Structure 1
Amino acid sequence: MKRRSFIQKTALTTGAISVSSGVFANPHSAETIAPHKFNLKYAPHLGMFKNLAGEDPIDQINFMADQGFTAFEDNGMMKRDIAMQTKMGETLAKRGMTMGVFVIDKGGNMANTLAAGKQEYIDIFLDGCKKAVETAKRVNAKWMTVVPGGFERKLPIGVQDGNVIEALKRGAEILEPHGLVMVLEPLSDSPDLYLQNSDQTYMICKGVDSPSCKILFDIYHMQKTEGHLIHNMDLTWDEVAYIQIGDNPGRKEPTTGEINYKNVFKWIHEKGFNGVLGMEHGNSKEGKKGEQAVIDAYKHEDAFM
């Protein structure tokens, strides 16, 4: 082979296995491996693959893309410095990944519950919404998580509902001009939490009546509080904008608990869902083997076609 031809061929080969191209090399052979093609937009988070990818957030995002994941979520995005937010946003855009949820900082919690109807609590929430707009621009995000906080036990439940709806209407007024969506997450963590069920969240969204206020259906939490996952998702489907994943018990990857995720994923796909499914769970096993087990579990449960 002539030297020039050899150099050209080598350059072409090197370009073909570039990480940024979406094709990566198998370290044990000369073959190149295309990323796995998932049917749905599963979104890992930072730390999920730190043993395989390293501690650097950008390396972790690139690793996720190399494995075929087409989305990413980061609850703590608002707490990261602006330079890192910008860099993460640029990396996601370069790799063609959809940014999933981040949590609106102080968007309603047990210390400033929206159910109380107190102006100082509403002001804290609205300030969080304003700051979230700027964060969303840096990372090209559309959805952000809101948890209204705890019950205000001194008030009748109908009054609490009204207080939450009015506060969320104010938040929606901030987000709607930017095409952003706060997704309300009912949780199973404590009996003191105001928002716990999908039908209750559906009612709140109908009350707010805005494209910027929708449901985050966290399958792990809803399995714990109400079960009947597919039935309840179907009942509330027109308000569901985001989904999160975790098996029960344990809140680890699919296949580690009682939820038939293959059937659930198949149903979601058949509904034509084109949004993000956040992998908001831990790994059932430690180290590199545990991280590979997460990847393998998603490949297995996503194989419903």
Structure 2
Amino acid sequence: MKRRSFIQKSTLGTGAITIGSALSYANITRTSGAAHQFNLKYAPHLGMFKNLAGDDPIDQINFMADQGFKAFEDNGMMNRDIALQEKISETLTKRDMTMGVFVVDKGGNMENTLAAGKKEHLDIFLDGCKRAVEVAKRVNAKWMTVVPGSYQRSLPIGIQNANVIDALRRGAEILEPHGLVMVLEPLSDSPDLHLQTSEQTYLICKGVDSPSCKILYDIYHMQKNEGNLIHHMDLTWDEIAYIQIGDNPGRNEPTTGEINYKNVFKWIHEKGFNGVLGMEHGNSKNGKEGELAVIEAYKKEDNFM
């Protein structure tokens, strides 16, 4: 499932809370008991628990908090109404939840590629960074996802990497004064993407040399592209600022695929990671049953102490 699918699925309106959905939400929270105490800061997204919590985004965030989740991420935050952004921020503050990543609007993951070294692409990216600062302030966010774009077959890889580094340095100049961090995400969605591995992302971050340019290590994508997860995370650890989750195959919750998430979570915890782990995956089952299965999977795999 591609990032665009997550953005489309999570683009929800504010909506009115119906009596039926409010009662359903109340019943779930009453029967679920005290909030679970997770060892790590997992971040669901809108739509993940809509059958249990209802369609209203604020109800969904409150439901996440009631289950013990201490963070929230929203790829499509930049495209939401300001009123909803403010309401989400208020709710996260009230529930003591951390705002995770949103995606910097840079004109598409593939089409507007920083690897090409073209001014028109750079200008779109820098405009997205400037607008992202305002959104980040509004929702109290620190991290934002950047994908450099498509691979350029007419240019050597070293030239492409240099073009990306130059562009990201310009972006970092915008973000750094505000204490914001763009996190670069290597993806497995297409062989035509420029950024594919943690090794390459590490090289680029070292080249940018800014606290505002770090790695987003998406475990699902990296299992597909490079495997040997703990080894690669260890090699690039000093540049990793954000982690995302998804099992493979299927890109659903932990326990549904081949990744030993209990061991991976244990290792991350032992490294002293206190950042956000975004739950950027689908649910393996439909409806309330599937949503409850997601919660139980995280309780199980987080039980490594």
Q: Same fold (TM over 0.5)?
A: yes
CA offset at residue 79 of structure 1?
Answer: 0.4
SS in 1 for 2:296: helix
Could you tell me which residue of structure 2 aligns to residue 160 of structure 1? 160
SS in 2 for 1:138: helix
Aligned counterparts of 1:99 and 1:276: Cα–Cα separation in 2: 9
CA deviation string 1:244-279 (max 9, x = no partner) = 000000000000000000000000000000000000
Q: Which amino acid aligns with 1:190?
A: S
Could you tell me which residue of structure 1 aligns to residue 19 of structure 2? none
Could you tell me which residue of structure 2 aligns to residue 236 of structure 1? 236
Q: How high is the TM-score relative to the length of structure 2?
A: 0.90
Aligned counterparts of 1:272 and 1:107: Cα–Cα separation in 2: 36
Could you tell me which residue of structure 2 aligns to residue 150 of structure 1? 150
Q: Which amino acid aligns with 1:159?
A: I
Aligned counterparts of 1:284 and 1:202: Cα–Cα separation in 2: 32
CA offset at residue 212 of structure 1?
Answer: 0.2
Q: Within 5 Å, give how 1:57-136 maps onto structure 2.
A: 57-106=57-106, 109-136=109-136
Aligned counterparts of 1:148 and 1:213: Cα–Cα separation in 2: 12
Quickly say closer, same or farther: Cα 1:125–1:25, change in 2 above 3 A: closer
Could you tell me which residue of structure 2 aligns to residue 276 of structure 1? 276
Aligned counterparts of 2:287 and 2:27: Cα–Cα separation in 1: 22
Asked if structure 1 preserves the Cα contact closer than 8 Å seen for 2:181 and 2:214, the reply is yes
SS in 2 for 1:145: strand
Greater Rg over alpha carbons, structure: 1
> Is 1:260 aligned to residue 260 of structure 2?
yes
Asked if structure 1 preserves the Cα contact closer than 8 Å seen for 2:253 and 2:284, the reply is yes
Quickly say closer, same or farther: Cα 1:26–1:53, change in 2 above 3 A: closer
Aligned counterparts of 1:26 and 1:56: Cα–Cα separation in 2: 16
Could you tell me which residue of structure 2 aligns to residue 193 of structure 1? 193
Aligned counterparts of 1:108 and 1:235: Cα–Cα separation in 2: 30
CA offset at residue 152 of structure 1?
Answer: 1.5
Asked if structure 1 preserves the Cα contact closer than 8 Å seen for 2:183 and 2:242, the reply is yes
Gaps of 5+ in 2: 1-25
Quickly say closer, same or farther: Cα 1:261–1:154, change in 2 above 3 A: same
CA offset at residue 109 of structure 1?
Answer: 2.4
Asked if structure 2 preserves the Cα contact closer than 8 Å seen for 1:107 and 1:148, the reply is no
Q: Greater CA deviation, 149-158 or 207-216?
A: 149-158
Aligned counterparts of 1:173 and 1:107: Cα–Cα separation in 2: 20
Could you tell me which residue of structure 2 aligns to residue 302 of structure 1? 302
Could you tell me which residue of structure 2 aligns to residue 248 of structure 1? 248
Could you tell me which residue of structure 1 aligns to residue 180 of structure 2? 180
Aligned counterparts of 1:231 and 1:110: Cα–Cα separation in 2: 29
Q: Which amino acid aligns with 2:295?
A: I
Q: Which amino acid aligns with 1:147?
A: V
Aligned counterparts of 2:95 and 2:178: Cα–Cα separation in 1: 24
Identity value in percent: 82
CA offset at residue 33 of structure 1?
Answer: 2.9
SS in 1 for 2:269: helix
Residue-pair matches, total: 281
CA deviation string 1:143-171 (max 9, x = no partner) = 00000000111111111111000000000
Quickly say closer, same or farther: Cα 1:195–1:227, change in 2 above 3 A: same
CA offset at residue 209 of structure 1?
Answer: 0.1
Asked if structure 1 preserves the Cα contact closer than 8 Å seen for 2:244 and 2:278, the reply is yes
Gaps of 5+ in 1: 1-22
Could you tell me which residue of structure 2 aligns to residue 6 of structure 1? none
Asked if structure 2 preserves the Cα contact closer than 8 Å seen for 1:243 and 1:278, the reply is yes
CA offset at residue 39 of structure 1?
Answer: 0.1
Aligned counterparts of 2:176 and 2:219: Cα–Cα separation in 1: 26
Q: Which amino acid aligns with 2:122?
A: I
Aligned counterparts of 1:26 and 1:136: Cα–Cα separation in 2: 30
CA deviation string 1:110-147 (max 9, x = no partner) = 11100000001000000000000000011100000000
SS in 2 for 1:194: coil
Asked if structure 1 preserves the Cα contact closer than 8 Å seen for 2:28 and 2:52, the reply is no
CA offset at residue 283 of structure 1?
Answer: 0.1
